[in-house]
Structure 1
Amino acid sequence: MTVIEELRTLSEKTGRRDKSSAAAKEERAAYLLLLPWIIGLVGVTAGPMLVSLYIAFTDYNLIQAPHWTGLHNISRMLSDPRLHNSLRVTFEYVVVSVPIQLIVALALAMLLDKGLRGLPLYRSVYYLPSLLGGSVAVAVLWRQIFGDHGLVNQLLGHLGIENAPAWVSDPSTALGTLIVLNVWTFGAPMVIFLAGLRQIPAIYYEAAKVDGASKWRQLRSITLPLLSPIIFFNLVLQIIHAFQAFTQAFVVSSGTGGPSDSTMFYTLYLYQVGFNNFQMGYAAAMAWLLLLIVAALTALNFYAARFWVFYDN
């Protein structure tokens, strides 16, 4: 081997070592930057989840140390009538409010997509309820509006309807007021729908008009199929959000879930068990049941999506 070849070989080895050293430094820097997120994941998310999984199999009152009880909390859930009622109320709330909310959001998004004047203002106004819908102030306001002598009954009285129901105090209508409140917070899915509508090429509608397709036909054959990924996205998010509903029922019912447990959401009952009755073991088991229910419904939605969600390739 000549001197030149030896120098070239030595240079290549040195270059590889420099590259390896630089890559190692970049890797260490990346892990250093990710360290706060990793600490948060372990300390705030993964760690508490594992602890709650352990507590779900114990009897724990926040004062004494957890006592292992095995499957006792699970068997208790199977025979707890209030838990079963809270599941029924929550499922009814989700099944009714989420489709109506998405229909209203899509209808308004299509209206705003027509190029109205002052569109940014309309978007802000319609999005505002989504920012405030889960707040205590709006829940208190909702209770005043639908109270025995609230704004709704006052308006009905002016129309000659004297025997209006006590909306939030009547078991047959109390849940309906919370469904209306959830439908009213349509702003977030509406903005997402509006963004999706803006991505549909106008040439599709122009071709449909040339072929004589009606507005209804354009909706069924163009808008809904091309918007199906956005509909699916909003559907999954709003189902998860509806299962987590708590503040509205807590404030409107003063934390009781009444009248007659008609607004006893699952999360509200979980709160009562954990923080009113200090049965943290049972509450943790309920929390994991809710996680499994939401995960199962999400997986079912992803499975069903293959039959109705279409992606424009």
Structure 2
Amino acid sequence: MTASAVARAAPHRRFGLSRLAWREARWAYVFLAPWIIGFLAFTLIPMIATFIFTLTNINLNQAEPLRFVGLDNYARLLGDQQTWESFTVTLKFAAVALPVAVILPFMVALLLSSRYLRFAGAFRVLFFLPYVVPFVAGVLIWLSMLNGDSGWLNLFLQAIGVSNPPNWLQDPNFVYAGLVLVGIWGIGGGVIVYLAGLKGVPTELYDAARIDGAGWWASLRHVTIPMISPVIFYTLILGIVDLLQYFLVPLVLYQGTGEPGGTTNFLNLYIYKSFFNYQDMSYGATLAWFLFGVTLAITLVLFGTARRWVYYAGER
């Protein structure tokens, strides 16, 4: 082929490649379109709308004309004692529940990934099954199990010699422990995530550690935990986000009353009541943006510290 023929063919090849790339990009946009439309319709636009609400006086219980109030709702939030009480309740419960939400699925996943465990596949299915049980049904089952008089847990404690077992869901001193027990029902998702991370740890690292004389505990500390630190970090972030937004279980158990003794009056429950009970749309939106800001701040802090303890394969 002469030089002139090559020169004439080159533009056609370039045009053909660009046309192929355009076809691939077009199909990518087609497949992404449902997600983009859903994100715009159900996330971004509602977020913008709620932020606009925070700058107005929308209250369906008051016949006032709509007007711009600036930062008045945020000033009201800063002086609202109930906001800070519910925020404190949320942080207290998160401090109790977060270690369980992160550590317990990890321990179960370690057990299920053991090569000495028989019928491991059946156990994995059993641990995941409660995760697919309808939420309200699961909560009501636990309500029966944790009943102070006739619950299975207290009957078991009495059978082994505990004379006065606690009323898990009615005693303010034990209600967080009871709610954590209810939450254990749904650890199956976390167990699956940890199992996937454990399966990705190269066996050569364990062999090398064994040659160096490392036992089970040393291998766990110096091989397993560093190698699955991204999974731990992911679980930690999701756990914090979920616990800051926690309110559905107390809503089902106590119908949003905050019982016992205000210990379940979580911030997200206060947001729910502001919207649907008090119908104060502007203040409810302000509370929601406050919770979003707190969640975002904590998440950014964790991402800032991640470089010190989260190990990603391929990074130096």
The separation in 1 between residues aligned to 2:78 and 2:126, in whole angstroms, is 45
Structure 1 match to 2:78: 78
Structure 1 match to 2:141: 141
- 1:68 paired to 2:68: yes
Q: How big is the alpha-carbon RMSD for the aligned residues of Structure 1 and Structure 2? A: 2.7
- In structure 2, the CA distance between the partners of 1:79 and 1:161, relative to structure 1 (3 Å rule), is same
- 1:286 paired to 2:283: no
Q: Which moved more, 1:181-190 or 1:21-30?
A: 21-30
TM-aligned CA deviation for residue 291 of structure 1: 1.0
TM-aligned CA deviation for residue 210 of structure 1: 2.5
8 Å contact kept, 1:97–1:180: no
Amino acid at match of 1:39: I
Once the two structures are superposed, residues 150-179 of structure 1 have per-residue CA deviations (whole angstroms, 9 ceiling, x without a partner) of 313333444454543332222222222112
- Spell out the pairing of 1:201-240 with structure 2 (5 A cutoff): 201-240=202-241
The separation in 2 between residues aligned to 1:309 and 1:188, in whole angstroms, is 21
Once the two structures are superposed, residues 176-222 of structure 1 have per-residue CA deviations (whole angstroms, 9 ceiling, x without a partner) of 21122224422222211112112222222222222222222111111
TM-aligned CA deviation for residue 18 of structure 1: 6.4
- Size of the aligned set, in residue pairs, is 309
Q: Secondary structure at the match of 1:310?
A: coil
The separation in 2 between residues aligned to 1:281 and 1:21, in whole angstroms, is 50
Once the two structures are superposed, residues 9-39 of structure 1 have per-residue CA deviations (whole angstroms, 9 ceiling, x without a partner) of 7766666666666665665555455443333
8 Å contact kept, 1:228–1:309: yes
Q: Which moved more, 1:36-45 or 1:49-58?
A: 36-45
Sequence identity of aligned pairs in percent? 34
Q: TM-score, normalised by structure 2?
A: 0.86
Structure 1 match to 2:96: 96
8 Å contact kept, 1:102–1:186: no
Query: Could you list the runs of 5+ residues in structure 1 that have no partner in the other structure?
Result: none
Structure 1 match to 2:48: 50
The separation in 2 between residues aligned to 1:114 and 1:258, in whole angstroms, is 42
Once the two structures are superposed, residues 90-140 of structure 1 have per-residue CA deviations (whole angstroms, 9 ceiling, x without a partner) of 1122222121222211111111111333222111111223334x8111112
The separation in 1 between residues aligned to 2:202 and 2:296, in whole angstroms, is 35
Structure 1 match to 2:258: 257
8 Å contact kept, 2:138–2:185: no
- In structure 2, the CA distance between the partners of 1:10 and 1:159, relative to structure 1 (3 Å rule), is closer
- In structure 2, the CA distance between the partners of 1:229 and 1:34, relative to structure 1 (3 Å rule), is closer
- Spell out the pairing of 1:125-164 with structure 2 (5 A cutoff): 125-132=126-133, 135-151=135-151, 152-159=153-160, 161-164=162-165
The separation in 2 between residues aligned to 1:52 and 1:186, in whole angstroms, is 32
8 Å contact kept, 1:147–1:167: yes
Structure 2 match to 1:275: 276
- In structure 2, the CA distance between the partners of 1:273 and 1:222, relative to structure 1 (3 Å rule), is same
Amino acid at match of 2:311: F
TM-aligned CA deviation for residue 263 of structure 1: 0.9
TM-aligned CA deviation for residue 71 of structure 1: 1.4
TM-aligned CA deviation for residue 89 of structure 1: 1.6
The separation in 2 between residues aligned to 1:74 and 1:128, in whole angstroms, is 43
Amino acid at match of 2:59: N
Q: Secondary structure at the match of 2:169?
A: helix
Q: TM-score, normalised by structure 1?
A: 0.87
- In structure 2, the CA distance between the partners of 1:109 and 1:7, relative to structure 1 (3 Å rule), is closer
Q: Secondary structure at the match of 1:67?
A: coil
8 Å contact kept, 1:193–1:230: yes
8 Å contact kept, 1:196–1:227: yes
Query: Could you list the runs of 5+ residues in structure 2 that have no partner in the other structure?
Result: none
Structure 2 match to 1:266: 267
